[in-house]
Amino acid sequence: MLHSLRILTSLLAILFLLAACTPVAPSSVQPDQEASPSDTPVQVVATTNFVADWARVVGGSRVEVFGLLPVGGDPHTFLPGARDVARVADADLVLTVGLGLEADWLQDLLHNASADESRIVALGDGVDPIEFAMADMHGDHDDHDDYDDHGDHDDDHGDHDDDHGDHDDDHGDHDEMIRGRLLVADAVEAHLSVIDLSTGDVDSGIFAVAAPRATVHPSPAHRYAIVLARGPEDGDDRIHIFDSGVFLVEHGDHYDLVTQPVSRHALEIADEQPVHYVNSHGWTAIFADINGHAILINEADLANSRGDYEPVVLEAGPQHGAALVISDEHVVITTKNPDYPENSDDSLPVGVEVRDFSDQVVYDASNRSCPGMHGESHNEHGVALGCTGGVLFLHTHDGEFEHEFIANPPEMREDSRIGAVYGHHHVEHFFGKASYYDGQGFADDGIWLIDVDHSEMRQVFSEPSVSTKFSSDGELLYVLGTDGVLHALDAHDGELLETMELVGPGDAGRPAFIVVGEWLYVADPNSGHVFAVHLEEMEIEEEWEVGGAPSSLAFVGLVDSGGAPDEGHDDHDDHGDDDDDHGDHDDHGDDDDDHSDHDGHEGHHHGPLDPHFWFDPIRVKIAVNEIAAQLSAIDPEGAETYLRNASEYGKQLDELHAWTLEQISAVAPERRLLVTSHDAFSYFAELYGFEVIGLVIPSLATHVEPSAEHMAALVDVVREHDLPALFGETTVSERLAQTIATETGAQLFRLYSGSLGPEGSGADTYLGMVRANVERIVEALK
């Protein structure tokens, strides 16, 4: 943890300010807005929006304040983005709460920004912090979901099963392996269903999308589901994004599991005919055919955005094209047929080029190097693209890009071509699905092994198929035949190892499947069910009735004790067969490092001291004076202004304290009992004579999942004390608190904790936030 309060400097600055102090105006007067005589205001970055509010009050117009945490954001789970790094790098002063609140992400942010440690001020260090009052209640966090390198829990955490004590035995194996959800699209209805793999719960048709027969794909690290929906009319096409609500947050030497409801992300993209989809190097690349847009979405930046994320869009011209990111600097984009769109039969690309992110072409293989291009994938050796007459292989040699064409073998039909390509980063070669036009549609010509080292191909599976996926480790290739039989092939030589009857025949549409760890999930539009196959046994072990005609699905979440699926490959929904199924690529992984090692942990998230001092206005006065001192050291000419503003604000804090005492006098002392979402209100309780007797989340963080035993015990506490109310938080999902409230009959009130409220809420300033909380507590308990 960074502790950069320079106590001596701060005290001297405060003494200087006191000596220079002039009489202050009444507390209702706004902070002094004297303009800075300097060319630019002091640049201040605050980790939370309430600290940013203090800095704006103290600094007035002499400072420019940027708050990292968005409104409604949680300081426990916030992840900085590239713009945040730039802001910190340029800041004259960085204000943090300290005491470990931001420890999970601040260190990396400061490192990436090459920030001068002397500019970092941890305000909590100087406020005489208290120890966590509830530490004894939940010991060493028995109810955390924490992960070590081997998936084993520290002894302090008890058995893994305790985290899911209320789950049915039918889901026990899934609980051990997978934390996540399946998002399922429908061939007939324009909606998504959600299956929770930990509980087995199914929410059918819970989210609307732009059109039926949408395709669902995971983001590179499986945090998000990205849905490509092509509507019935021009202009109806949409790219929807849904947050899985299941992900890991790093806490120093360990990771914590976040479990929240699935939610629709604010980003929704309108572009015509989005079809090809590839994940690689932390990026999702979607190609929108009509406008020829390569839409690039960086998952980390999306997660860190405040609802204003803007994808990178590169122009490639109208075509049935594709793009994929091949490094942190380069993107492969198909090149259009110059005869299109004048000749509508020439929509397929004719080559590729490599561009950098500034849209400069750094390698050109566009001169009809891959006529009729359709189907693309990659592995650690390069990129393979299906072409008329063969396969184009793009790779690097001695640091330079080069490409070669691998011709179709003589034993392949002369009119056949590779239209879908499958790659995995653990497999040295590729597989391709071949097809040919038989006068009525595309006919299947089997699966072919593409040996790029020897520039040759050979057929390994001859029967018609509907979908092909690698196992997560790349050892097997699963092929689902049109007869509903699943075939397991050796991914290294194509030898058939095992088969099983997976789905029955039907007219509703083709089934789709995905592979996640040791499980295979299949959406069967003919039965309206989703099945789970344990691949080691090659048997269906679970089944969910979704209803309708489930036709596409994606897994979002974590697998294998906290890691994302170690797939690192392209899963392709075959796309040489009909116009409605254009080879959607689910490359799961060049992002193994995103969830690399999950160490167990000891002790508390925040350390022994409680960082939530902002619920004590007396301590806030200390922090405000420290801000004035730090600004004065940076901008001595503004010292008088900073002190005047801090003094006036201090009077308002005194008034707030007095008002709070008056309000809570309406609550009898024996009724001043709090059950809150997490351990955030100990300062408030200590100052105003309350007692925190229970936590919905038995953790010092906001994003871990309590055990069934803890939830049951908390129900007993609420009933024993006949509590009329529970207190959730605006930055924490209310699902768990609502469960307790429903079970006990208590009313649920939501308090502002880690963030201010939105503009116009009355809680969009620190003073307003505290007043709103006090009013709700008094209303609930008096």
Residue pLDDT, tens place only, 242-301 = 999 888 776 666 677 788 889 998 899 999 999 999 999 999 999 999 999 999 999 989
For 459-480, what is each residue's pLDDT tens digit?
A: 999 999 999 999 999 999 999 9
Distance CA 615, CA 340 (A): 64
Q: Quick check: 226 and 241 in contact, CB under 8 A?
A: yes
CATH number reported for the structural domain that contains residue 635 in this entry:
3.40.50.1980
Tokens of 630: 């730090």
Regarding whether 776 and 634 lie in a shared domain, the answer is: no
Regarding whether 671 and 753 lie in a shared domain, the answer is: yes
Report the SS3 class of residue 232.
coil
For 419-438, what is each residue's pLDDT tens digit?
A: 999 999 889 999 999 999 88
Backbone angles phi, psi at 80, to 5 degrees: -70, 150
Query: How far is the CA of 59 from the CAs of 118, 123, 493, 623, 651, in angstroms?
Result: 19, 16, 68, 14, 16
For 612-625, what is each residue's pLDDT tens digit?
A: 999 999 999 999 99
Q: Lowest-pLDDT range, 117-126, 242-251, 671-680?
A: 242-251
| pLDDT at position 586 | 38
551: left (phi over 0), alpha (psi -120 to 50) or beta: alpha
Q: Quick check: 731 and 754 in contact, CB under 8 A?
A: yes
Taken in order 530, 536, 538, 539, is the CA torsion positive or negative? negative
- The neighbour count for residue 386, using CB atoms within 10 Å, is 29
Examine residue 145 and state whether it is found in any structural domain, yes or no. no
Report the SS3 class of residue 130.
coil
Please count the structural domains in the chain: 3
Query: How far is the CA of 250 from the CAs of 568, 595, 731, in angstroms?
Result: 22, 9, 18
Q: Locate all alpha helices (DSSP H) within 282-321, ordered by sequence.
A: 299-304
Regarding whether 545 and 469 lie in a shared domain, the answer is: yes
Distance CA 181, CA 244 (A): 7
Strands (E), 62-148: 63-67, 93-96, 120-122, 146-147
When pLDDT is cut at 50, 70 and 90, the band that residue 7 belongs to is very low
Query: CB under 8 Å to 445, separation ≥6 — which residues?
Result: 412, 413, 416, 434, 435, 436
Burial class (CB in 10 A: 0-12, 13-18, 19+), 567: buried
When pLDDT is cut at 50, 70 and 90, the band that residue 142 belongs to is very low
| pLDDT at position 253 | 63
Q: Could you say which of 584, 619, 654 is where a domain stops? A: 654
Distance CA 91, CA 451 (A): 53
| pLDDT at position 464 | 94
Q: What is the mean pLDDT of the chain?
A: 82
542: left (phi over 0), alpha (psi -120 to 50) or beta: beta
For 306-361, what is each residue's pLDDT tens digit?
A: 667 899 999 999 999 999 999 888 999 999 998 877 766 678 999 999 999 989 99
With 50 as the cut, is the pLDDT of residue 27 above it? no
Regarding whether 409 and 335 lie in a shared domain, the answer is: yes
Q: Lowest-pLDDT range, 42-46, 249-253, 669-673?
A: 249-253
Regarding whether 428 and 297 lie in a shared domain, the answer is: yes
Examine residue 740 and state whether it is found in any structural domain, yes or no. yes
| pLDDT at position 399 | 85
Q: Could you say which of 595, 614, 636 is where a domain stops? A: 595
Regarding whether 423 and 298 lie in a shared domain, the answer is: yes
Residue tagged 């966090």 (tokens): 141
Q: Quick check: 221 and 594 in contact, CB under 8 A?
A: yes
Backbone angles phi, psi at 147, to 5 degrees: -130, 135
When pLDDT is cut at 50, 70 and 90, the band that residue 512 belongs to is very high
Regarding whether 641 and 766 lie in a shared domain, the answer is: no
Q: Could you say which of 578, 595, 612 is where a domain stops? A: 595
Residue tagged 């930990």 (tokens): 198
Distance CA 267, CA 375 (A): 27
Examine residue 388 and state whether it is found in any structural domain, yes or no. yes
Report the SS3 class of residue 713.
helix
| pLDDT at position 677 | 87
| pLDDT at position 703 | 54
Regarding whether 585 and 635 lie in a shared domain, the answer is: no
What proportion of the chain, given as a percentage, has pLDDT over 90?
Answer: 61
Examine residue 249 and state whether it is found in any structural domain, yes or no. no
| pLDDT at position 527 | 93
* Helix or strand run (H / E) with residue 50: helix 49-59
Examine residue 529 and state whether it is found in any structural domain, yes or no. no
For 85-119, what is each residue's pLDDT tens digit?
A: 889 999 999 999 998 888 878 988 898 889 898 99
Distance CA 537, CA 745 (A): 45
| pLDDT at position 257 | 78
Q: Quick check: 47 and 96 in contact, CB under 8 A?
A: yes
Regarding whether 697 and 583 lie in a shared domain, the answer is: no
Instruction: Choose between 523 and 585: higher pLDDT.
Output: 523
Examine residue 433 and state whether it is found in any structural domain, yes or no. yes
Q: Locate all alpha helices (DSSP H) within 189-285, ordered by sequence.
A: none
Query: How far is the CA of 116 from the CAs of 91, 440, 470, 495, in angstroms?
Result: 10, 68, 47, 59
Domain residue limits at 92: 7-133+604-654
Sheet holding 178-186, edge to edge: 202-208, 191-196, 178-186, 550-559
Query: CB under 8 Å to 337, separation ≥6 — which residues?
Result: 319, 343, 346, 347, 348, 349, 350
With 50 as the cut, is the pLDDT of residue 153 above it? no
Regarding whether 555 and 638 lie in a shared domain, the answer is: no
Regarding whether 628 and 758 lie in a shared domain, the answer is: no
When pLDDT is cut at 50, 70 and 90, the band that residue 408 belongs to is very high
| pLDDT at position 655 | 96
When pLDDT is cut at 50, 70 and 90, the band that residue 5 belongs to is very low
Virtual CA dihedral for 186, 435, 272, 232, nearest 10 degrees? -40
DSSP annotation of 60? G
Regarding whether 777 and 638 lie in a shared domain, the answer is: no
Residue tagged 């090459």 (tokens): 114
> How many Cα atoms occupy the beta-carbon half-sphere of 402 within 13 Å?
6
Examine residue 381 and state whether it is found in any structural domain, yes or no. yes
**Letter for the amino acid at 240?**
H
Examine residue 532 and state whether it is found in any structural domain, yes or no. no
Q: Quick check: 21 and 644 in contact, CB under 8 A?
A: yes
| pLDDT at position 520 | 96
Which residue(s) pair with 554 in the sheet?
183
| pLDDT at position 441 | 77
| pLDDT at position 312 | 95
- At residue 733's C-alpha, the angle toward residues 667 and 670, to 5°, is 15
Q: Locate all alpha helices (DSSP H) within 445-558, ordered by sequence.
A: none
Q: Quick check: 484 and 500 in contact, CB under 8 A?
A: no
